[in-house]
Amino acid sequence: MADEKKKKGSSRRGNKSNTYDDGADASPSGLQCPLQGSARVIKDHCADWHNHIDKWNGMNDAGFNIINKIINLRLQAKSDGQRKVEVRSVATTEAEFMSDEHDGMPEGLEALCEQLTTIQTSMATLMKKMAAITKHFQGVEKLEQKRRNPNMYASPMFTSWSVDKFVQASQHLQDMYQQELEVKKVIVEDVAHHDDRDIMMMYASTWLHQPYIEDDAVVTLESMLTETGFR
C-alpha cells in the first residue's frame, strides 16, 4: 500500500505544499500596487482554493494511514479468533468461548475510529469553506453585472478570464470535493465493521484514489492560479 500511496499522491496534488499569500501585483511601472475591489476578492479566493486543497490532501493522507491501521487490527483480530477456535479445549464451555470471542472490539480500534471521524469532520468543515468561495464568486459576478453596460460583453478581470469563468471553475471544484466527501463519510461509518480483506482493501483504495476528484481538478486550480498571477 505504501508504494501505491506514493504513486497516487504525486498525481493528485499537482501543486506545491506551500501556502499562498495574495501579496500585491506589479504595475506597468514596476511598482507594487495592491488590488482592490472585485479583483482583490477573486485573487484572495484563488489562493484560498489552493490552500484548502493542500490541507485536504494532507488530511487524505492521514486518513489513509489510519484506515490501514484499522484494517491491520481487524485482520489480526480475525486471525487470532481463528487460532482460538482451532486450539479451544474440549473442556471449555460454549458460554465461556462466546464470552471470550465477543468481549469487545480489538484494542485500539475505537481510538482509530475516533481519529478517522475527526479527519472526516475536518474535511466537512473545509468543504463548507470551499462552498463559501463559490458563493463569494457568484456575488462578485452579480455585482459586476450591475456595473456593466448590458450591451457590452464582460471584460477580463485579470488576463483573459471574466468573473463568470471563475464562478464555473470554483463550482466545478466544489462539486467534485462535495461528492468525494460523501464517499468518505460512508467509508468512515463502515470500514471498522468488516473483517473481509477484499472489502476493507477496497475502502482503503477508494479513500486514497478519491474517484470523484477528476484529473482536471489540478488543471482547473492551476488555471485559476495562473490567471491571477500566482504562477
pLDDT tens string 158-191: 999 999 999 999 999 999 999 999 999 999 999 9
Q: Is residue 32 part of a domain?
A: yes
Q: Tens of pLDDT along 97-121? A: 444 444 557 899 999 999 999 999 9
Q: Is residue 202 part of a domain?
A: yes
d(CA 209, CA 106): 27
31: containing domain: 23-79+107-227
Looking at per-residue confidence, does 152 or 178 come out higher?
178
Q: Tens of pLDDT along 40-76? A: 999 999 999 999 999 999 999 999 999 999 999 999 8
User: Which residues lie below 8 Å from residue 78, measured CB to CB, with a gap of 6+?
Assistant: 195
Model confidence at 220: pLDDT above 60: yes
DSSP state for residue 26 in the 8-state scheme? E
Q: Is residue 9 part of a domain?
A: no
Q: Is residue 125 part of a domain?
A: yes
**Four-residue CA torsion sign, 125, 126, 127, 132:** positive
d(CA 74, CA 78): 6
Under a CB-based contact definition with an 8 Å cutoff, are residues 51 and 173 in contact?
no
Model confidence at 91: pLDDT above 50: no
Q: Is residue 84 part of a domain?
A: no
Residue 124 corresponds to which amino acid?
A
Count the domains in the chain: 1
Residue 139 sits in a domain whose CATH number is 1.20.1050
Q: Is residue 95 part of a domain?
A: no
The values of phi and psi at residue 219, to 5°, are -65, -40
Q: Is residue 137 part of a domain?
A: yes
Q: Is residue 18 part of a domain?
A: no
d(CA 82, CA 155): 70
